[in-house]
Amino acid sequence: MARLLASKPAEFKLYAPQAKKVILSGSFNKWDAKKLAAKKDSKGNWVVKTSLKPGRYEYKFFVDGAWINDPRCTSCVPNSFGTHNCVLEVK
């Protein structure tokens, strides 16, 4: 019998003290630039939490209307727009 893979909590953080709005977008939400809004803490860090099933995901931050890569991400892949997407592996 196949075992269902449980979702695991994933936290994404971006330091952008001047930003007005930060959205997390990626292959896990069909690149929806509206759904996963981050919340800003007192130090200028934007944090968003979601649950992801094990797998490989590509993502970026949408900051005040511009796509930004996660500076803490160590793995990136080229995308069809001539830039790169960050990669997250959920085990």
Q: Tell me the per-residue pLDDT of 23-69, one tens digit each, with 9 for 90 and over.
A: 999 999 999 999 999 999 999 999 999 999 999 999 999 999 999 99
What is the Cα–Cα distance from 37 to 61, expressed in whole angstroms?
10
Check residue 5 and give its pLDDT.
Answer: 73
The domain made up of 8-90 has a fold known as Immunoglobulin-like (2.60.40)
Cβ atoms < 10 Å from Cβ of 23: 20
For tokens 């997250």, the residue is 88
Cα–Cα nearest to 25, from 17, 15, 14: 14
What average pLDDT does range 65-75 have in this prediction?
96
Spatial contact of 54 and 8, defined as CB atoms under 8 Å apart: yes
Tell me: pLDDT of 19 over 70. Answer: yes
Q: Where are the domains of the chain?
A: 8-90
Strand partners, 24: 36, 61
The pLDDT of residue 3: 59
Which pLDDT band holds residue 71 (cuts at 50, 70, 90)?
very high
